[in-house]
Amino acid sequence: MGFSGKVAIVTGAGGGIGEGYAKALAEWGCAVAVADINEAGAQRVAEAIVAAGGKAIAVKVDVSSEDSTKAMATTVAGELGGIDYLINNAAIYGGMQLHTMMDVPYDYWKKFMSVNMDGCFLATRAVAPYMEQRGGGAIINQSSSAAWLSRAGYYGIAKLALNGITQNMAMELGPKNIRINGIAPGPTDTEATRTSTAEGLVDSIVATLALARMGQVKDMVDACRFLLSDEAGWITGQILCVDGGFIMRP
């Protein structure tokens, strides 16, 4: 599939779905930057990849900081020789505070949006010049079914904005041969989902799905593999729902 010798950054890769992306990219032949604000988590995943015979480095990043995303890009390009792929997976999800729109403290709203909305925008701007140097690249923004739910509060609003960023930056970066697509998972079996969603919510959603089971990290990894590959070479600005048929858009 042409992944051998490529360099990939996965943000939020210190656990959960991001860990799955990072390990899979390494198995396919990429050198992987395991980037997370959780330095210990990033280190654990990078060490596991290296122990399995892959190539990886851990990078501490706060995706809500322009300086930090720029430093991440510089470090990765310097240590791994360039950048071909970026997975904008980091978000405040596990352990997120659950407030209503009327009650969410404004400071928490701003912090949340700076990570879950601005994060993909800042990381994309930081890495795009390095992709350009390689003649192009591919980016995936991690969205969610919640983007289309009118009751998912600020979590869904941030993912809807991320979809807009995906489309707008796909238009701007297409001429540089950089493709940007989104993956919108439905309820997926991770530690964060198990600990951060209201009791019974996931079961009640899963029961309504056309394919009535929880998503697995592998479902996201398979979609990621296609969207990054040359087989998706004329696909950009799209959000692929990987959700058992939860969201069916006209």
- Interface residue with ligand NAD among 29, 94, 136, 174 (CB under 6 A) is 94
Burial class (CB in 10 A: 0-12, 13-18, 19+), 141: buried
* Nearest-angstrom CA–CA distance, 193 and 209: 17
Closer residue to ligand NAD (CB): 181 or 193: 193
Specify whether the CB–CB gap between 214 and 206 falls below 8 A.
yes
Cα 41-145-127 angle, rounded to 5 deg: 50
Neighbours of 29 (CB within 10 A): 14
**Can you list the alpha helix ranges (DSSP code H) found in the chain?**
16-27, 39-51, 66-80, 106-116, 118-133, 153-173, 191-196, 201-206, 217-228
Catalytic residue flag (residue 155) = yes
CB of 145 to ligand NAD, least distance (A): 6
Ranges within 183-242 binding ligand NAD (CB under 6 A): 185, 187-188, 190, 192-193
What is the pattern of x (binds ligand NAD, CB under 6 A) and - over residues 28-47? --------xxx--x------
Asked if 25 is part of the footprint of ligand NAD (rule: CB under 6 A), the reply reads no
Q: Which residue is nearest to ligand NAD (CB)?
A: 16
* Count of residues of this chain found to bind ligand NAD when the rule CB under 6 A is applied: 30
Query: Which of the stretches 57-65, 77-85, 221-229, 230-238 binds ligand NAD when contact is defined by CB under 6 A?
Result: 57-65
* Nearest-angstrom CA–CA distance, 67 and 166: 21
Which residues are designated catalytic? 155
Q: Which residues bind ligand NAD (CB under 6 A)?
A: 11-12, 14-18, 36-38, 41, 61-64, 89-94, 115, 142, 144, 185, 187-188, 190, 192-193
